[in-house]
Structure 1
Amino acid sequence: MKLAGLKSKENAHEESIWAATWVPATETRPALLLTGSLDETVRLWRSDELELLVTNTGHCLGVVSVAAHPSGVIAASASLDSFVRVFDVDTNATISTLEAPPSEVWQMQFDPKGTILAVAGGGSLSIKLWDTATWKLVATLSVPRPEGSNKPADRSGSSKFVLSVAWSPDGKRLACGSMDGTISIFDVARAKFLHHLEGHFMPVRSLAYSPVDPRVLFTASDDTHIHIYDAEGKSMIGAMSGHASWVLSLDVSPDGAAVASGSSDRTVRLWDLNMRAAVQTMSNHTDQVWAVAFRPPGGTGVRAGRLASVSDDKSISLYDYS
């Protein structure tokens, strides 16, 4: 497996780019790349050319997360202004605006069926679940403190700040990563906390389930390590190290064979999961890499794998994954 640099877009936004995801292909168009920036805008890009299609200006503070519905028809962006804007991808029309208290909107992800949008609740120490038919809040999953935790109790609760969220591929489980390094697993149907996964001691800013095994969860932390967990068995089954600084983002390839990661060491790494080792390091960014995302399969005439990365250097890089 390898990555080959295809294209880079310098100054893709006016400020740091903090978020990126792929909007799946529909019957009428191929997959698009969606990016969100500290410049308060969300942008949609034609995938292979990195040609700007539309700039979306609904927020009044930096955009911290973007998410795409599995249908490819709608997407959402979350900002430091504490609003989530849900919009039609093709018309840019706002479908709904979801409001939260300050510092309670962080990473978000649609479930595999597209019926629920899960939003990491930041300082509320929870995940908020929004129904995508009505855009009403249908559940709040609260993160309990780990039992027997020797981590100091922080009165402000900031150590338990919920940063990241990921759905299992079967939609039955939801995982979230917190500022103190704990990972919490929930049974979504019963709205029930199941258990914590331990091993990280610094913020877990990104996590993703394997697309081929709903038990396997990958996590990225400021402690410079990527962990692999059996999320059902509560055990860590592997760890991968090599970044020189915080691991800010990760994504799993659609074939489940590789993980890509982005770091504050300014590199993107490709990890072979059989070898549990980095097989490639890409150094085309000049500042920390906030998001990496593999393009989902599908769409007419689409064969090649793609990976995108975005950075504080305001650029987007696109790679061929084979």
Structure 2
Amino acid sequence: MTLRHYAAIAALALATGLPADAARADMTGHGAMVNAVAVSADGKRLLSASWDYTVRLWDLGRQSELKVLDGHTASVNAVVFLPDGKSALSASWDHMVIRWDLNSGREIARLTGHVNNIAGMALSRDGRRLATASWDRTVKLWNLSTNALERSFEGHDANVMQVAFAMDDKQLVSVAYDRTVRLWEVASGRELAVMTGHQASVNAVAVMPDGKTAFTGSTDGAIKRWDLAAQRESGRLPGHGSFITSIAISKDGRYALSGGGDRLMRLWDLKEGRQLKQFAGHEKPVWSVAFTPDGKRAVSGGYDTVIKVWSLETGALIPAPKS
């Protein structure tokens, strides 16, 4: 599958709007869809990535914009804070990863090596390595001490959409338009398993804190659970009534969030395998979701260009505090 397939999903997204008087988000500023959101380890700041080519840094408590990080020349699809909290990474359709100094808003370095769009990325638990997923059908591993490319993982037959570290950072899990979930050995680059079951492109993957279980979301609307040690599907969640764009797992591993083309973010109890809440308010599909570290709030970014902050206890939007 190619850009035409992705454009078809985008066209479907545009056709699923809510009435103009639907609830508005408190965090606005992006000029196009919000592809990714990431919350800092202390829960005080938020990074967002957009199709408007920018990364934005926000004060999450005040829901106010702090900086616009401008350096990419195409849609920015993924963002992550580095462990020091002072720097961050962003990945883009311009084939590059940019490393940012968050205090100054300036670039520190550029990681180059992909020859097509970078759709997703993941940071190792120790913060020393970065994995990137690209439409050049590869996953690449980077050493963040040197910003050098360590290894490429080849085997997918179509655009790779997302990647995650697993099994104590000894393995990678990648998902792609070829409908597969693949496991890789980090040390050697060897493909360990090709797991199938989804009926359409697999767009999202998240790994449990213990590193042994992954959840994937697909255009087929399904959320599947995978036992990574046994290398097989081990269950599923009811899913969405439309394509799934993103999945996040809480720090304690008890809950998951998912976003989809039905304009909803959903909260799941992973032990019981059931939905606890659904969050409605975006006017277009929910493209990105994240937990805050304390597990009390969630953040969603939408195709409608806005970012929303939610109370997981009440299911209500959290408004920006009055100045």
| TM-score, length of structure 1 as denominator length | 0.85
The answer to whether the 8 Å contact 1:14/1:39 transfers is yes
Aligned match of 1:138: 150
**Equivalent runs, 1:26-41 vs 2, <5 Å:** 31-41=44-54
Aligned match of 1:78: 91
Deviations 1:132-173 (CA, angstroms, capped at 9, x unpaired): 0111111111125xxxxxxxxxxxx5xx21110111262122
One-letter code of the match for 1:226? Answer: I
Aligned match of 1:219: 216
The answer to whether the 8 Å contact 1:36/1:43 transfers is yes
Shift of 1:201: 2.3
The answer to whether the 8 Å contact 2:92/2:117 transfers is no
Which aligned runs of 4 or more in structure 1 are off by greater than 6 angstroms?
A: none
One-letter code of the match for 2:266? Answer: R
Deviations 1:54-108 (CA, angstroms, capped at 9, x unpaired): 1111112211111222332321111222221111222222111122454242201
Aligned match of 1:300: none
Deviations 1:172-202 (CA, angstroms, capped at 9, x unpaired): 2210001021011112123221111211121
* Counterpart-to-counterpart distance in 2, 1:96 and 1:169: 29
Aligned match of 1:231: 228
SS of residue paired to 1:107: strand
2:36 corresponds to 1:19: yes
SS of residue paired to 2:253: coil
Shift of 1:49: 2.0
Deviations 1:10-69 (CA, angstroms, capped at 9, x unpaired): 5331111111112223xxxx5311001111110011112211111111112211111222
One-letter code of the match for 2:131? Answer: A
Deviations 1:302-322 (CA, angstroms, capped at 9, x unpaired): xx6221100011110111234
Return the match for 2:250 from 253, 264, 273.
253
SS of residue paired to 2:132: strand
Aligned match of 2:138: 126
Aligned match of 1:117: 130
One-letter code of the match for 1:79? Answer: S
* Counterpart-to-counterpart distance in 2, 1:283 and 1:112: 32
Shift of 1:234: 1.3
2:184 corresponds to 1:166: no
**Equivalent runs, 1:179-218 vs 2, <5 Å:** 179-211=177-209, 213-218=210-215
Q: 1:31 to 1:192 in 2, by over 3 A?
A: farther
2:302 corresponds to 1:311: yes
* Counterpart-to-counterpart distance in 1, 2:286 and 2:25: 13
Aligned match of 1:268: 265
Shift of 1:294: 1.0
The answer to whether the 8 Å contact 1:239/1:276 transfers is yes
- Aligned positions, number: 290
* Counterpart-to-counterpart distance in 2, 1:135 and 1:74: 14
* Counterpart-to-counterpart distance in 2, 1:52 and 1:218: 32
Shift of 1:111: 0.7
One-letter code of the match for 1:139? Answer: R
Shift of 1:253: 1.1
Aligned match of 2:110: 97
Out of 261-270 and 78-87, give the one that drifted further: 78-87
Q: C-alpha root-mean-square deviation of aligned residues, in Å?
A: 1.7
SS of residue paired to 1:286: coil
| TM-score, length of structure 2 as denominator length | 0.85
Structure 2 gaps of 5+ residues are: 1-23, 314-323
* Counterpart-to-counterpart distance in 1, 2:57 and 2:117: 25
Aligned match of 2:176: 178
Give the share of equivalent positions with the same residue, in percent.
Answer: 30
The answer to whether the 8 Å contact 1:10/1:314 transfers is no
2:318 corresponds to 1:320: no
One-letter code of the match for 2:130? Answer: L
